[in-house]
Amino acid sequence: MSIHKLTVCAALLLSPALGAATDGAKLFQEKTCWSCHGKDAQTPVMPTYPKLAGQNADYALQQMKDIKSGARNNGQTVAMKTVMHLVNDDEMKAIAQWLSSLSANARITPAPTSAPAQTETQATANPHEPAVPPKGWNQNLGNEESEQYQAMHLPTDKKKGVEVYEVCSACHLLEGWGMEDGTFPQLAGQHRSVLVKQLADIRALNRDNPTMYPFAKKESIGGVQEMADVTDYIAKLPMNPANGVGSGDNLALGEQLYKDNCVKCHGDNGQGDPVKYYPRIHAQHYQYMLRQFEWIRDGKRRNANPDMVKQIKGFSNDDMKAVIDYTSRLKPPQELLAPSITWKNPDYD
Ligand code: HEC
Ligand code: HEC
Ligand code: HEC
């Protein structure tokens, strides 16, 4: 079902008198809440995530505020905290009201809580366990047994790619352009090998991404074939022609740093190298790249190429901003870009 249809469905559940609640339904969909808590707010993507339908409005609002501020913070909270800056107090209130207006049992098909398959999932797949040591930067490159290798070599099906990608679009958006504020990266146009590597690393817990982890799992998107289909689809999407950039204050320094430290891997135009799994970094959002760069420098992105870590070890925060600002302004060739910022993905009409 397309996102547009979802809005309609959600709206149909409501009485027209409930103004705030209508907003709440719309916000619940637009602000990615449904991706984890389910379209009906009671079929969460992980068995350990809460059902929200029918919850007391004041309680729900307080929980959202506490999760946003960090006052509520257990092993699971981090998955949700990542997206909470997308909603302000009024929006949280509207969502809380809408949640409380839903009936907790009205739409329940057999309760998912006792399904044995899910219990198993819960036991084996906790994204919030202590960091697993990285298994080498890319030990699977060239290993024919690995899912990375297989995903790169299977024939692909666009229709299936479109189906799988719909789930991803809750966060990365239908165009695959991510968000300028850096919450979600642009994926459109990225080298397929890079998408496969990152997805495989995220689901093997080699790269921490608690927000996305449940969606990367085999149980959600499927196995190697689905990985092949969805990455092929994403890699062919046209890129955002107006990605987020930095302040523009220090571009001369940025250019020099780029030439001295980045060209050998990411290329003179930020195009990366699909054969070596080096990502495209042109047209990526400044805010997202800044976070990744800092995490790579400081050892937080555990699956990063150790040679890049070495190369940027001495970068100050100002150096980092300058070089990423410069990078964010590099433009891919015209044929990889969408014709305009208002382009809409026709596969989800
Ligand atoms: C990436 C997954 C994810 C997303 C996206 C997400 N949540 Fe959550 N949410 C969770 C998890 C996990 C918990 C339980 C956190 C904990 O145990 O502290 C939770 C808890 C809650 C609670 C408290 C429930 C209770 O009974 O205590 C509310 C309310 C809530 N979420 C609303 C929202 C809203 C509104 C949005 C969108 C703005 C949202 N969530 C987005 C994963 C998510
Ligand atoms: C609930 C939100 C959410 C959903 C759904 C989601 N992602 Fe993500 N994804 C993220 C976040 C957040 C990041 C960036 C994490 C970080 O900052 O390290 C990310 C990063 C990625 C990256 C790494 C990009 C890079 O430049 O290194 C890939 C690849 C990716 N996602 C693919 C997918 C695919 C494919 C799907 C669907 C099967 C999907 N995502 C679904 C939230 C999501
Ligand atoms: C030795 C090769 C190498 C060098 C030098 C290098 N990088 Fe990287 N870079 C990589 C690889 C490989 C990755 C992907 C890491 C992974 O697998 O998670 C990456 C990831 C990144 C990312 C995150 C991209 C994403 O989509 O998440 C950014 C941003 C980045 N590099 C910027 C730079 C900049 C700017 C420089 C120069 C100051 C630089 N890199 C130097 C190899 C390199």
Residues 6+ apart with CB under 8 A from 145: none
Average pLDDT of the chain? 86
Three-state DSSP class for residue 270: coil
Residue 37 contacts residue 50 (beta carbons within 8 Å):
yes
Lowest mean pLDDT among 135-139, 152-156, 197-201, 269-273: 135-139
Residue 140, in any domain of the structure: no
* CA 210 – CA 79 distance, rounded (Å): 5
Ligand 1 within 6 A of CB of 121:
no
Ligand 2 centroid to 289 CA: how many Å? 14
| pLDDT higher than 80, residue 105 | no
Same domain, yes or no: 161 and 310: yes
Same domain, yes or no: 25 and 93: yes
* CA 231 – CA 332 distance, rounded (Å): 19
Residue 18, in any domain of the structure: yes
Residue 200, in any domain of the structure: yes
Ligand 2 centroid to 252 CA: how many Å? 32
Please report the pLDDT score of residue 137 as a whole number: 74
Ligand 2 within 6 A of CB of 78:
no
What six digits make up the tokens of 128?
Answer: 């919030």
Of the candidates 128, 329, 134, 143, the one whose C-alpha atom is nearest the C-alpha of residue 241 is 329
Of the candidates 127, 116, 121, 334, the one whose C-alpha atom is nearest the C-alpha of residue 241 is 334
Instruction: Please state the rounded mean pLDDT for residues 2-25.
Output: 54
Please report the pLDDT score of residue 115 as a whole number: 33
More confident residue, 108 or 149: 149
User: For the chain, what is the total number of helices (H) and then of strands (E)?
Assistant: 18, 0
Same domain, yes or no: 170 and 231: yes
Residue 252, in any domain of the structure: yes
Tally of structural domains, the chain: 2
Residue 76, in any domain of the structure: yes
Residue 317, in any domain of the structure: yes
Same domain, yes or no: 60 and 199: no
Instruction: Please state the rounded mean pLDDT for residues 305-312.
Output: 93
Question: pLDDT of 164-188, one tens digit each?
Answer: 999 999 999 999 999 999 999 999 9
Q: Which atom of ligand 1 is nearest to the CA of 74?
A: 18
Judging by beta carbons within 10 Å of its beta carbon (0-12, 13-18, 19+), is residue 182 exposed, middle or buried? middle
Same domain, yes or no: 93 and 13: yes
Ligand 2 within 6 A of CB of 198:
yes
Mutate which of 27, 28, 29, 36 to test ligand 1's pocket (most atoms within 8 Å of Cβ)?
36
Residue 120, in any domain of the structure: no
Among residues of the chain, what percentage have pLDDT more than 90? 68
Same domain, yes or no: 168 and 218: yes
Ligand 1 centroid to 74 CA: how many Å? 12
* CA 329 – CA 55 distance, rounded (Å): 46
Q: Among 74, 106, 138, give the residue marking a domain's end.
A: 106
Mutate which of 34, 37, 81, 85 to test ligand 1's pocket (most atoms within 8 Å of Cβ)?
37
Judging by beta carbons within 10 Å of its beta carbon (0-12, 13-18, 19+), is residue 113 exposed, middle or buried? exposed
* CA 172 – CA 202 distance, rounded (Å): 15
Ligand 2 within 6 A of CB of 199:
yes
| pLDDT higher than 50, residue 112 | no
Residues 6+ apart with CB under 8 A from 109: none
Same domain, yes or no: 210 and 96: no
Q: Provide the domain limits for residue 39.
A: 3-106
Question: pLDDT of 236-279, one tens digit each?
Answer: 999 999 999 999 999 999 999 999 999 999 999 999 999 999 99
Task: Using the Cα atoms of residue 121, residue 153, residue 199 and residue 182 in order, give the sign of their dihedral.
Answer: negative
Which residue's CA is the nearest one to ligand 3's atom 40?
A: 262
Residue 117, in any domain of the structure: no
What six digits make up the tokens of 315?
Answer: 């970068």
Same domain, yes or no: 101 and 151: no
Q: Among 106, 135, 161, give the residue marking a domain's end.
A: 106
Please report the pLDDT score of residue 78 as a whole number: 84
Same domain, yes or no: 282 and 169: yes
| pLDDT higher than 90, residue 82 | no
Which residue's CA is the nearest one to ligand 3's atom 15?
A: 304
Residue 273's DSSP bridge partners are: 278
* CA 44 – CA 178 distance, rounded (Å): 23
More confident residue, 260 or 217: 260
Ligand 1 within 6 A of CB of 63:
yes
Residues 6+ apart with CB under 8 A from 63: 72
| pLDDT higher than 70, residue 111 | no
Same domain, yes or no: 308 and 170: yes
Q: Among 106, 135, 157, give the residue marking a domain's end.
A: 106
Same domain, yes or no: 298 and 186: yes
Ligand 1 centroid to 233 CA: how many Å? 30
Same domain, yes or no: 215 and 341: yes
Instruction: Please state the rounded mean pLDDT for residues 124-141.
Output: 54
What CATH number corresponds to the domain at position 100? 1.10.760.10
